[in-house]
Chains A and B, each alone.
Chain A
Amino acid sequence: MSEHELRVSKIRDGTVIDHVEGGQALNVLAILGIDGSEGFGVSVGMNVPSDRLGRKDIVKVEDRELSQSEVDVLSLIAPEATINIVRDFEVVEKNRVTRPDSVTGVLSCPNRNCITNADEPIETRFDVVADGVRCDYCATILRTDIADHIDV
């Protein structure tokens, strides 16, 4: 690999989240609850040229293999994402994200009058519906601006 091509170095072990829509990498980390304090090596590439997406983001998390259920929630903001599990520099598993049935504790409800926005000991819970997500408590539907409501 030449100097010009090298943007983010390969990792030995861990998870590479590729084909993330440009600009969503930090939201991906937020949803996964990774803020650097865990001690994993984290590399982020943003707005990298991509044949498929034009521009894409890439997130690499070293020494941690993310499970399918952990990454499926990413489908809400990065439906094209691919998840590569890497062991000893080799990709041993490659998966797409699939839409989960529901999302717990990741999003905040945009309805200010929803009980989840009152001072209650409660985790938000959204059902995934045809073209968005729906609050289990107040039934508000969130469609296009999901990334604006990430609350983790």
Chain B
Amino acid sequence: MRQDHLITATQLSRDDIEAVLDRARAVADAPAAYADRHAGRVLALCFFEPSTRTRMSFDSAAKRLGMDTIDMGDVDSSSVSKGESLSDTVRVIEGYADALVLRHPSEGAATLAGERVDVPVVNAGDGAGQHPSQTLLDLHTIREDHGLDDLTIGIMGDLKYGRTVHSLAAALTEFDASQHFISPESLRLPRSVRFDLHETGAQIREDDELEPVLDELDVLYVTRIQKERFPDENEYHRVAGEYQIDAETLETAADDLTVMHPLPRVDEIAPDVDETDHARYFEQAHNGIPVRMALLDTLLENATPDGDGGAEVDR
């Protein structure tokens, strides 16, 4: 990957993705070899929205590379609550750190941050936009089970606002993957994501039920349907109930179906699925460590003038 920042999954080529995933596998196989690789460097965690696992995952990944981390803390207690712009905030933090991880409630925030600073920026979620580092760990999980070609995947739940879905769908167009999107009518893919899929000629199908496609799937990627997306709570309960799965739902699935979820889940995957051979969501979350280590390692290497390949970086 010869990039300064990771802002959106649409910027990633197949080679970029495979390079990071190969490195993630190497990290997972021999983590000690990476332990001091970026000692003395600092990663800034800038979360303008609550996050537990993404923040901790980047924190842990950085420390396992020998880095220190600094965290701007909750938005309520930071200068943002005094009205400072994102542009100013990231410019200031750029001086404190060698790379920056950003989560923000507005779509396009990471693009803006990437334009304002020279250190690598990783988009850890921008509103209902993109979440590309999640996609890399999703792809790593899929690759370990099935490989990334000749793949049939069902992506179910909130496809409209789900940033993990938008990034995953875009990245899968780089592979020979057939994508089934399963959601209520009101939460179908947004026009912009559909546009990109159409442009790449991706094989996609949209359904409002899981059952007709379940037995074809290698992977079922479930996302949470959030209550606040519905004006009426009764409507939410009626709709959300149709997109919940349990062990019984999966009886007609292929034996080697992999069930994934970006977490946190609420009730869209019943706990009895955890005990089946299909469940992979906890490994998926754990894969965040080697994948984010590989990603940070790659971006920092690109950003270092005398690093391996730094001279070829197109800045």
Q: B85 contacts A137, CB within 8 Å? A: no
Task: Let me know if B129 and A118 touch, CB within 8 A.
Answer: no
Query: CB of B112 within 8 A of chain A?
Result: yes
> What is the 8 Å Cβ interface bit string for chain A, positions 95-136, against chain B (1 contact, 0 not)?
000000000000000010111111111100000010000111
**Are B112 and A137 neighbours in the complex by a CB distance under 8 Å?**
yes
CB of A44 within 8 Å of the partner chain = no
Find out whether the CB atom of A138 lies under 8 angstroms from the CB atom of B195.
no
Total residues of chain B contacting the partner, CB 8 A: 21
Q: Check if A118 sits within 8 Å of B106, measured CB to CB.
A: yes
- Does B261 make an interface contact (CB < 8 A)? no
A115 touches B112 (CB 8 A): yes
A120-B85, A120-B87, A138-B129 known; A115 vs B108 contact (CB < 8 Å): yes
Could you mark each residue 119-140 of chain B with 1 if its beta carbon is under 8 Å from any beta carbon of chain A, else 0?
0000000111100000000000
Q: How far is the CB of B123 from chain A (nearest CB, A)?
A: 12
B104 CB-CB contact with A under 8 Å = yes
- Given A122-B112, A137-B107, A137-B112, CB of A115 within 8 Å of CB of B191: no
Q: Report which of B108, B128, B196 forms a contact with A137, defined as CB distance below 8 A.
A: B108
In the docked arrangement, what's the CA distance between A150 and B82, Å? 31
Given the interface contacts A120-B86, A121-B85, does A141 sit within 8 Å of B108 by beta carbon?
Answer: no
Contacts of A48 in B (CB 8 A): none
Task: Determine whether B234 belongs to the interface, using a CB cutoff of 8 Å to chain A.
Answer: no
How far does the Cβ of A27 sit from chain B's closest Cβ, in whole Å?
24
Cβ of B111 < 8 Å from any Cβ of A? yes
Contact residues in A for B108 (Cβ distance below 8 Å):
114-116, 135-139
Interface residues on chain A, number (Cβ under 8 Å): 20
Given contacts A135-B108, A140-B192, contact A122 B87 (CB under 8 A): yes
A134 touches B107 (CB 8 A): no
Cβ-defined contact, A113 with B105, below 8 A = yes
Total CB contacts across the A-B interface at under 8 A: 62
With the chains together, A129 CA to B83 CA distance in Å? 35
The reply on B155 being an interface residue by CB < 8 A is no
Q: Which residues of B contact A140 (CB under 8 A)?
A: 107, 191-192
Check B111 against A118 for contact (C-beta < 8 Å). no
B109 at the interface (CB under 8 A from A): yes
| Shortest distance between the CB of A115 and any CB in chain B (Å) | 4
The reply to whether B111 and A137 form a contact with Cβ atoms under 8 Å apart is yes
Roughly how many angstroms separate A70 CA and B48 CA in the complex, as a whole number?
A: 38
Q: Which residue of B has the minimal Cβ distance to A121?
A: B87
Cross-chain contact B128 with A113 (CB below 8 angstroms): yes
Query: What is the distance, in angstroms, from B103's C-beta to the closest C-beta of chain A?
Result: 13
Contacts of B191 in A (CB 8 A): 140-141
| Inter-chain contact A120/B112, CB cutoff 8 Å | yes
Give the complex CA separation of A110 and B128 in angstroms.
Answer: 15
Q: A111-B107, A140-B191 are in contact. List 8 more A-B contacts (CB 8 A).
A: A113-B106, A113-B128, A120-B112, A134-B192, A138-B107, A138-B127, A138-B192, A139-B107
| 9 closest A-B pairs by CB | A137-B108, A138-B107, A115-B108, A138-B108, A139-B192, A115-B106, A115-B109, A137-B111, A115-B112
Question: What are 8 pairs between A and B in contact, CB < 8 Å?
Answer: A111-B107, A113-B107, A114-B108, A115-B86, A135-B108, A136-B111, A139-B129, A139-B196
Taking Cβ atoms with an 8 Å cutoff, the residues of B that contact A are 8, 83, 85-87, 104-109, 111-112, 126-129, 191-192, 195-196
